[in-house]
Amino acid sequence: MAATGIEIAPGVVDLTPPQNGYLKGGYVHSFLLDTPDGVILIDTLFDADAQVILDALAARSKTPADVKHILLTHGHRAHLGGLAKLKELSRAPVYAHEWEADIIAGERKQQGVSLRPMKGLAVLPILIGGTVFGPLSEHKPCPVDHLITQGARIGPLQVLHTPGHTPGHLAFYWHERRALFTGDAFVTWPLICPGWPNTMLNKKQTWESLRRLSELDVQAIGVGHGAAITQNGSQVLRELSARGYV
């Protein structure tokens, strides 16, 4: 994928580090949304310099000042790398759930993860590396301006509270574009699943959140890790949700 991203739905650009993506948060993704309310950014990738996002803006003849809102799905390192830089350049307000806000602001450590063997072993070296070297590569803290949860709206986006991966995890739904942004409530790498099992704090809540997402009318799904779903998103979510929580 080029540094300037690909369009997965009208006005929706999917971004991920074009090189060494495995080492930069496990093929983590961010999304630029060109909306009537200005550019909305969902998550900020792994790299502190935010260069992938800045390049994508420039490729579309936009500047950081065009970013009007920065939305965060949750407080894990891979999704917060460029946050402080983008906040500095854009002065856009930052939004997150109350449970995640003090992690994002650097006032509390993110929760640890399990290192037990799991299906999709490709993610295990990242988890081990994060556990060992995490203190050396923490995101630069940034205060959250607005606390949001289920039912809030930012521009055309509906905020969905999707706990399980973390207690304050959020997803975002653009109904008019049939586009859903799941963060780590649903991923496609290293396999299609509701979040990485080793980083899931509450398995039952995770599956309940997935079931609620599967009820939406969705074509494209922007995921936290892995390639986006660009067709028949609702069907993909329903088929996965049908497995149910065991």
Q: Mind listing the pLDDT tens digit of every residue in the chain (246 residues)? A: 445 799 999 999 999 999 988 889 889 999 999 999 999 999 999 999 999 999 999 999 999 999 999 999 999 999 999 999 999 999 999 999 999 999 999 999 877 655 554 555 566 565 555 554 455 567 899 999 999 999 999 999 999 999 999 999 999 999 999 999 999 999 998 888 887 776 778 889 999 999 999 999 999 999 999 999 999 999 999 999 998 764
Q: What share of the chain is helix, strand, coil (3-state, %, to 5)?
A: 30, 20, 50
Q: Are the beta carbons of 86 and 53 closer than 8 angstroms?
A: yes
What is the rounded CA–CA span in Å between residue 1 and residue 111?
Answer: 31
The pLDDT assigned to 135 comes to: 54
Ordered structural domains, the chain, with CATH = 6-107+117-241 (3.60.15.10)
pLDDT tens per residue, range 35-47: 999 999 999 999 9
Of 75, 76, 27, 19, the closest CA to residue 51 belongs to 19
DSSP 94-131: EEE-HHHHHHHTTSSPPPP---S--SSGGGHHHHHHHH
The pLDDT assigned to 84 comes to: 98
